[in-house]
Amino acid sequence: MINLEIPKKFGALVNQAHQAAAEIFRPNSRKYDIAEHEYPKELDIFAALLDGMNSSGEGGAGAGSVRRTEKSNQVRNGANMSIVLGAIELCWGDVGFLLSMPRQGLGNAAIASVANEEQLARFGKLWASMAITEPDTGSDSANIKTTAVKDGDDYIINGEKIFVTAGERSDAVVVWATLDKALGRAAIKSFVVEKGTPGMEVVRLENKLGIRASDTAVIQFTDCRVPAANLLGDPDISQGFAGVMQTFDNTRPLVAAMAIGLARAALEETSKLLAEAGVEVDYDKPANQQHAAAATYLGLEADWEAANLLTLKAAWMADNSKPNSLEASEAKAKAGRVVTELTLKCVELCGSIGYSEHTLLEKWARDSKILDIFEGTQQIQQLIVARRLLGKSSAELK
């Protein structure tokens, strides 16, 4: 049975993550929103601290240590729960900062999810971004056109990847490519391509609506030769797409956690501004007997709580070796929708103050949209949930 209280052993982690968010992330949030593409140097000290926590076994707050727990008869809260709880606190400070943290990229989560022990040792200290999306391939990751052709002890990769988070700053990129287009999704594998590899080039950085502290790159691969040992997990095509897709079972709750943290920040700021305007939110009174703004706020809180519980459940299931593909998509879908609707409603409730730069509400509204898009859009998550609930394959339900 899942316990809804935060495990005591993660108390120090949550406090440290919140302190970093309050003292490093949020105070510099507006600065790097304006100075897009400039690396937040303030992160270096925190990243070093996080490396020490991870190496000592205390667990960190980034994405890099997420890994499915081996089967156990004991109920446990492990790496997945710690990462989710840490991400919630850090994104209360700033989502773009979390996405800019060295050695804590979404590619690190992919490595941790599917790499073998030798690869974990070799790539564990790299900062890895993840390259999935292509100009003609967005939500349908099974339609990837980037190719990886075996050539002796290497693979030769050709293709273009867009919207690569931390694509310029990271040490390596986890690239999704197909070994054989004729075999469809079964032939898609992921490869670690380290920066400086001939044939790999960052060709452009995107200007974005939100998360401007984080760089978002377009990367071109032209006859890029990568050792076969850099193919993550099992190279056997008979293993199919499942191994690659397992990455999402861990990263989707992580993105949902980012949304939970950002939404909580917006709720807290809105509560403060409503109180200053004389609007009292009374938890002992029915919503329909309160000020309209208070009633709206109560509804936003309820939606937030539902998304929060779904996210914790998905992480808990991963830590306890329970299949969580359905729950991971439910959490991502709910949290992504909640954070976009909630932050816009908070801007609306706070009027001119919410729309201006007097607070971070307008920035949070801009930052929130990406959390409903990357790691699988809202629509794709709903489709995955429908397939799981109805027992339909991707071919049967499109």
The answer on 259 and 167 residing in a single domain is: no
Residue ending a domain, among 210, 239, 268, is: 239
Residue ending a domain, among 224, 239, 254, is: 239
For residue 31, is it within any domain? Answer: yes
pLDDT in tens, 185-230: 889 999 999 999 999 999 999 999 999 999 999 999 999 999 999 9
The answer on 136 and 107 residing in a single domain is: no
The answer on 263 and 200 residing in a single domain is: no
The answer on 224 and 354 residing in a single domain is: no
Number of domains in the chain: 3
Q: Give residue 40's pLDDT band: very low, low, confident or very high (50, 70, 90).
A: very high
pTM of the model: 0.92
Q: Which residues contact 226 (CB under 8 A, 6 or more apart)?
A: 148, 154, 155, 156, 157, 191, 192, 193, 197
Residue ending a domain, among 239, 266, 295, is: 239
The answer on 197 and 145 residing in a single domain is: yes
For residue 25, is it within any domain? Answer: yes
Domain CATH number, residue 207: 2.40.110.10
- Arithmetic mean of pLDDT over the chain: 90
Range of the domain at 76: 8-123
Q: Give residue 70's pLDDT band: very low, low, confident or very high (50, 70, 90).
A: low
Q: Is 341 tagged catalytic? A: no
pLDDT in tens, 341-391: 999 999 999 999 999 999 999 999 999 999 999 988 999 999 999 999 999
For residue 42, is it within any domain? Answer: yes
The answer on 378 and 265 residing in a single domain is: yes
The answer on 110 and 59 residing in a single domain is: yes
pLDDT in tens, 147-182: 999 999 999 999 999 999 999 999 999 999 999 988
The answer on 350 and 256 residing in a single domain is: yes
The answer on 362 and 299 residing in a single domain is: yes
68-77, 267-276, 326-335: least confidently modelled range: 68-77
pLDDT in tens, 84-109: 999 999 999 999 999 999 888 889 88
The answer on 290 and 257 residing in a single domain is: yes
* 240: alpha, beta or left? (left if phi > 0; alpha if psi -120 to 50): left
**Catalytic residue (choose from 38, 327, 375, 396):** 375
Most confident of 54-63, 232-241, 274-283: 274-283
Domain CATH number, residue 23: 1.10.540
Beta bridge partners of 201: 220
133-137, 264-268, 338-342, 384-388: least confidently modelled range: 133-137
